[in-house]
């Protein structure tokens, strides 16, 4: 695999460890970087409570800071799950986002792709975001080019949105009538606001749980409208997209619910995440035929009910169109890895605000 790939499809393996800090997703995808030919096997490697605590301590830190044991935890977890896939011809390694400040210090995805390439004996594409940020982009979200391919794969004919409810929520509006993702009007993408991360932090702090599983706690609570209104006064909601967030940009959410019961706090924070999406929908160029939800938030029936009640189109998990919502982001970085190898752009003005379509990513090959 010297030089750039030809246009022949290859089996790429993508890995994703999100800001929810639940674990590492890994998924195979057969693609030429433009078309999805086949979805392959996938796997998940959960972080232990001890590993999650180490990673949580490193949140907000930059490469020059003392990251403690976090790099080792990240490396070992990825190496373990990625080593299971013999069929992979190239690996897309996102790393673990610790800090994101595109207008200031840049973006920091912890992880050494060169060391991973040596450990696995395969080419690794990594550091996907830095080039976009260096050229004035937000560096996020990066899944939209893959969402464009997914819209083609499902045969969408009208504008459709992919809503990822991970630690942060992000939305991709897709016009499937366009030929390429970098074409004008093909995509609009941006972070909607906080999603699961603050809810996870709440239940971890108060109850020692990793998440509000199935929205069980939120279902018992009542939304505090005053806190919700204060949340919506955040200036972020008045910014025009493209725009992106760091995991902890809305840390005030915990303060807004500090005096509430556990159930009321969970219900209010879930409503905050859902209402942030509704605010974001106002930026879509034309109405949507449907919203397809991926990420952990789609497993929260309270969140999904709030979205269905507040939006003017069907809201469904991506499984409704035959996609895997647990693995879509890992698949996205498999797809982007092949684009990097082919010298194709991975972001564009309407996805990250970068000045012109740009391809990110370093390529490391084993010695």
Axis-axis angle for helices 144-153, 328-342 (nearest 10): 100
The predicted structure's pLDDT at residue 244: 85
- Measured distance CA(129)–CA(358) in Å, rounded: 10
Residue 246 has pLDDT above 80, yes or no: no
In the chain, the domains with their CATH numbers are: 10-141+328-364 (3.30.420.40), 155-321 (3.30.420.40)
| SS3 category, 26 | strand
Question: Could you tell me the pLDDT band of residue 3, with boundaries at 50, 70 and 90?
Answer: very low
The predicted structure's pLDDT at residue 259: 97
| SS3 category, 356 | coil
As a whole number, the mean pLDDT across the chain is 94
Quick one: average pLDDT of 117-134? 97
Q: 241: left (phi > 0), else alpha (psi -120 to 50), else beta?
A: beta
- Measured distance CA(41)–CA(132) in Å, rounded: 30
β-sheet bridge partners, residue 362: 126
- Measured distance CA(329)–CA(334) in Å, rounded: 9
Nearest to 148 by CA among 35, 38, 234: 35
Residue 238 has pLDDT above 80, yes or no: yes
The residue that leads in pLDDT, 200 or 19, is: 200
Question: Could you tell me the pLDDT band of residue 4, with boundaries at 50, 70 and 90?
Answer: low
Residue owning tokens 């942030």: 276
The predicted structure's pLDDT at residue 1: 42
Axis-axis angle for helices 49-58, 70-82 (nearest 10): 130
In degrees, to the nearest 5, what angle opens at C-alpha 296 toward C-alphas 203 and 192?
Answer: 90
Residue 2 has pLDDT above 50, yes or no: no
The pLDDT tens digits for 304-336 are 999 999 999 999 999 999 999 999 999 999 999
Residue 124 has pLDDT above 80, yes or no: yes
The pLDDT tens digits for 189-202 are 999 999 998 999 99
**Residue 225, class by beta-carbon neighbours within 10 Å (0-12 exposed, 13-18 middle, 19+ buried)?**
exposed
Q: What is the percent of the chain with per-residue pLDDT over 70, rounded to a whole number? A: 98
Quick one: average pLDDT of 258-287? 96
Quick one: average pLDDT of 68-89? 98
Which of 2-16, 83-97, 124-138 is predicted least confidently? 2-16
pTM (two decimals)? 0.93
Do 41 and 79 meet the contact criterion of CB atoms below 8 Å apart?
A: no
Quick one: average pLDDT of 125-151? 95
């Amino acid at each position: 695999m010297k030089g750039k790939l030809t246009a022949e499809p290859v089996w790429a393996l993508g890995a994703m460890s999100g800001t929810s800090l639940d674990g590492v997703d890994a998924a195979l995808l057969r693609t030429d970087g433009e078309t999805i030919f086949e979805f392959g096997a996938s796997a998940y490697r959960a972080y232990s409570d001890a590993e999650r605590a180490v990673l949580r301590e490193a949140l907000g830190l930059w490469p020059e800071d003392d990251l403690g044991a976090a790099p080792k935890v990240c490396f070992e977890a990825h190496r373990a799950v990625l080593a299971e896939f013999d069929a992979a011809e190239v690996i897309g390694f996102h790393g673990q986002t610790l800090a994101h400040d595109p207008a200031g210090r840049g973006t920091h995805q912890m992880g050494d792709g060169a060391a991973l390439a040596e450990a696995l004996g395969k080419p690794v594409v990594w550091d996907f975001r830095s080039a976009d940020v260096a050229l004035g982009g937000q560096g996020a979200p990066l899944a939209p080019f893959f969402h464009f391919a997914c819209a083609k794969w499902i045969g969408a004919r009208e504008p459709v949105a992919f809503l990822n409810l991970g630690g942060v929520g992000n939305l991709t509006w897709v016009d499937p009538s366009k030929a390429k993702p970098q074409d004008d009007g093909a995509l609009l993408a941006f972070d909607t606001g906080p999603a699961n991360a603050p809810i996870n932090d709440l239940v971890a702090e108060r109850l020692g749980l990793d998440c509000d599983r199935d929205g069980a706690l939120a279902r018992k609570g009542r939304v505090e409208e005053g806190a919700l209104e204060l949340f919506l006064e955040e200036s972020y909601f008045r910014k025009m997209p493209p725009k992106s967030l760091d995991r902890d940009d809305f840390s005030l959410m915990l303060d807004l619910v500090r005096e509430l019961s556990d159930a009321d706090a969970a219900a209010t924070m879930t409503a905050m995440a859902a209402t942030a999406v509704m605010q974001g929908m106002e930026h879509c160029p034309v109405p949507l035929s449907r919203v397809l939800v991926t990420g952990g938030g789609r497993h929260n029936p309270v969140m999904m009910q709030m979205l269905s009640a507040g939006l003017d189109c069907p809201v469904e998990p991506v499984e409704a169109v035959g996609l895997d919502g647990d693995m879509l982001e890992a698949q996205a970085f498999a797809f982007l890895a092949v684009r990097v190898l082919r010298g194709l752009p991975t972001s564009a003005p309407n996805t990250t605000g970068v000045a012109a379509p740009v391809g990110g990513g370093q390529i490391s090959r084993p010695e």
